[in-house]
Chain A
Amino acid sequence: MGSMAQGLSSGEDVKGERDRQGYLVVDHLTKLYGKNRAADDVTFTVGKGEMVTLLGPSGCGKSTTLRCVAGLETLDAGQITIGGDLVSSASSHISIPPERRDIGMVFQSYAVWPHMTVWGNVAYPLQVHKVAKDEVDVRVRQMLSLVGLSEMVDRNVTKLSGGQQQRVVLARAMVHNPRMLLFDEPLSNLDARLRVSMRFEIRQLQQRVGVSALYVTHDQTEAMVLSDRVIVMNQGRIEQVGPPLEIYQKPVNSFVASFFGEVNFIEGVIGAFEGTPVSVPVEVKCQGRMHRLFATPQPGMKAGEKVYVSVRPQDIELASESAATAETPALKGTVSRIVHMGSHLEYFVDAGAVQLTCHCVREVEAKVGTTVNALLKADRCICLSR
């Protein structure tokens, strides 16, 4: 019946639709190292032309997942398709070797081949794909000018700087127009300044070519700059998937909240409420007194549930003791330390059992040792289960 209904649409459209949704499909992937579940039932997709980041601390399974996609590891369960082709499947014992997956990959260690020139490194993928000699040269030079290394064609790669080596590797990964680009923490060996500029360059190149990409990193800001969507992983499992801003603003649990940017956690218990309000009351015990905060609950949270109220440091407003308003919930505390960070100021507020970090763009009327009110606006606070 499905074919009858879609009888008019061409095969190309079906393919186009499928690619838009899931050009790369990772389906219930599990990878074991001994008894350790390095990747545990991982499922996600990358659309055509989309750049997706796997983000997580070291050992969370992000690199393992990437290496499974590359074909450098075999799966213990699940399957992977790229562009509709099944490339790995544990149940049918399929594991297409990396060289037949038509992918490009950038490694953390650069992995430039020291015995070849810049030209030789970039030409290699074309040569092994049996591209005609004249065309190889044309395409290598094109690619090198795209990454800004036109002058370096005949240089020895080992004589290049870290940033230049990274560009060689980028050119090498893209020169044969692979259907998928894989990045394994490519910027973590570069110095901070270079890292920032390379992030933009990688994103620009990827968008210009329109290739689908999967990017592994442990750096949250890198994920924000680079990706259409972010997949946060921890202990082999996916914690949350979504656009970077959504993950930042609406983390689903305390791990995601704390890994994706700085955050304050305030322990509390959800109070009584009716219906499905935007915010629910949370009872917080602070300096011997009960306070009532309001925060956005996760779907299905009930009264009496133990939660963290999660709030970003820049979402807390500080007001002097007298200027407190009754409408905005607040916690009272003492300023214990003030640090000038240049772009902003960090205030550390000691509210008994609760320690708050607040980022303020401008200086507020509070000195170390004075009592302040930390205003916690309901729309900036989220309930996360603990």
Chain B
Amino acid sequence: MALMGAVMSIAILGPLLIILLKSFEVQKGLFASVYSLQNYAQFASPRIVKGIVNSFVIAAGSAFLAGLFGVVLAWITARTDIPFRSVLQVLNIVPFFISPLVGGIAWSLLASPQTGMINMALMGWLGLETAPFNIYSITGIIWVVALFHTPFVYLFCIGPFRQMDPALEEAARVSGSNWISTTFRITLLLASPAIFSALILAFVLSIEDLGSILVLGYPYGIQSISTLIFEGIEQYPPNHSLGAALGILLMSITCFFIVVQRRIMASRSFATVTGRGYHPPRVNLGWGRYIALGINLAYLTLAVFLPIAALLIVSLSNAWFGHVDLGQLTTKYYTFIFSTSPLAVRGIQNSLILATSAATISIVIATVIAYAIHRTRSRMRAWLDLVTTIPIAVSGLVMAVGLLVALIRTPVYGTLWILLIGYVVRFFTYGQRSISGVILSLTADLEESSRVSGGNWFTTLRRILLPLVWPGVVGGWLLLFITFMREVSMSLLLSRGGTETLSVALYGMMNYSPIGAMAAFTMVQVALLFVAAFIFLRLTGSEGIRV
């Protein structure tokens, strides 16, 4: 246990230390280097300033929009008499399973100025000269990122909305306040720590996101911190030092916001709404419930139905010019993916191997560490608790840069192992949270009564704790599996020819294959994710997702 703690500490902190050193390193000649602040001085260049500004604009804009969508959806599905509530509560999470890369690709089919389906349709109906929407813009990126980050805000807020002590609202109603002002002055204010911390989370998620901006911005000259890092690593010759310096910048931003978010979550005011077992009354919207239903369906249409329909149509069309030609339907792109494209097949294989093994390794580590933190008196407990939250505050992109610099001269580089290490180190903590949640809900009495009944430590672990924690293990495994199947940032930085994952292969096909093949391959990834998501939701329900 102590060994595993030490290994994980090194695996998490090592790359960060190396990236910090690298960020001060400047190459002099072929083999010599000196330490200076030169890499950081480059931040003053207009190109990088523009990228940093873009990052903040996109992150702030999409966080605001995702916050608006998420809070509204959480409130109407948790606290109103909207029809089909239980179905909607599950459907609203579905975009969570679609990666921002997939979302970006799908929306480029819908709203690109040349062949976007929505643009073409509107131009046809309204007789417009030019396309009304351009998805390849800052606004377009904000829109797509917001759509796919909405489930995070939604999941964060629905709990507090559901578990609010009804007496707090009843007191307001009894004092003469109607439901509208009660909702704004009591409900939303009480949930505000959750809402605010969800907004921060959405901000952090989008500032570290690479997938959507790589599709919608990068090819059209829109840079962000994440694409600048990507470019620094991927260009020839690579500039690891600049990538590292930008990584340190990104890490400082995300760490700052995650610390702020933790503070808010730990604050006293949040405790007033986490009381369990309450069933607050639902607001009777009358005919307004159909407006609420309309709002929710509109979101699902934009985030799920339209993107998938677009992908499906394009993948089945012989050639794509922005409108459906029923006479030209074909399955040739699916045949192409599964028989003639080595890249696509490799991507699927690699992702399945990686996701399965990384999820398994992660969940074993997560279980041991969660056990050590919650059920032993190990001196490492506080340390483990701290160290295992670091991967959440440090984005995957930064972790990947660190691992790359650390391992580039080892045989691990260029193999699936480096991806495996990266996946485990970055994401095992999410599995740990899902298991910790279960362990914390079990009283220690359950294990102690086994001990006094005559069962030793191992018997107790095997017959009492593991069976009780098992749902958390299964849920955590599936969630990790899904995360790895849709992972973009780390995969793009760490994979090389031969070790492409689904996302990397998809990015490659976006650049080098016919649009139909790319759409078909995206559909394959979506289908794989939906199967995993379906199993996950059947087993654990939406409460199983810990963000």
Contact = CB atoms under 8 A, between A and B. Distances in A.
A99 B468 contact: no
B454 A128 contact: yes
Interface residues of A, number: 29
Interface stretch (A40-48, A83-91, A102-110): A102-110
A293 B387 CA distance: 69
Interface string B441-479: 001011011111111110100011001100000000000
A136 to B, nearest CB: 13
B453 A124 contact: yes
Contacts of A107: 445, 448-449
Nearest to B464: A113
A182 B452 contact: yes
Given A115-B467, A124-B463, A128-B459, A99 B448 contact: no
Contact of B454 (A114, A176, A182): A176
B468 A114 contact: yes
Contacts of B467: 115
Given A113-B464, A115-B468, A97 B451 contact: yes
Interface string A123-140: 011001100000000000
Q: Secondary structure of the B side of the interface?
A: helix
Contact of A101 (B446, B448, B452, B455): B452
Given A124-B455, A128-B453, A98 B464 contact: no
A331 interface: no
A72 interface: yes
Contacts of A129: 454
Contacts of A104: 452-453
Contacts of A71: 451-452
B436 to A, nearest CB: 19
A353 interface: no
A71 B446 CA distance: 15
B445 A99 contact: no
Contact of A72 (B448, B453, B468): B448
A98 B452 contact: yes
Nearest to B447: A111
A115 B447 CA distance: 13
Nearest to A125: B453
Contact of B456 (A97, A103, A108, A115): A97
Contacts of B453: 99, 104-105, 124-125, 128, 172-173, 176
Given A104-B453, A125-B454, A128-B453, A98 B448 contact: yes
A104 B450 CA distance: 10
A156 B452 CA distance: 22
* Interface size range on B against A: 10 to 19
A105 B455 contact: no
B454 A111 contact: no
A128 B468 contact: no
A109 B464 CA distance: 16
A370 to B, nearest CB: 43
Contacts of A72: 448, 451-452
Interface string A65-85: 000001110000000000000
B454 A105 contact: no
A128 B450 CA distance: 9
B443 to A, nearest CB: 5
Contacts of B463: 124, 128
A158 to B, nearest CB: 12
A18 to B, nearest CB: 24
A116 to B, nearest CB: 8
Interface in A177-213: 182
Contacts of B449: 105, 107, 111, 113, 169, 172
B127 to A, nearest CB: 66
User: Which of B445, B451, B452, B455 counts the most chain A CB atoms within 10 A?
Assistant: B452
A169 B446 CA distance: 11
Contacts of B451: 71-72, 97-99
Contacts of B468: 113-115
Nearest to B471: A115
B446 A102 contact: no
B446 A105 contact: no
A99 to B, nearest CB: 5
11 contacts: A98-B448, A101-B452, A105-B449, A109-B443, A110-B445, A111-B446, A113-B446, A114-B468, A115-B467, A125-B454, A172-B453
Given A98-B448, A99-B453, A172-B449, 9 more contacts: A70-B448, A98-B451, A99-B452, A99-B455, A100-B454, A104-B453, A108-B445, A128-B456, A182-B452
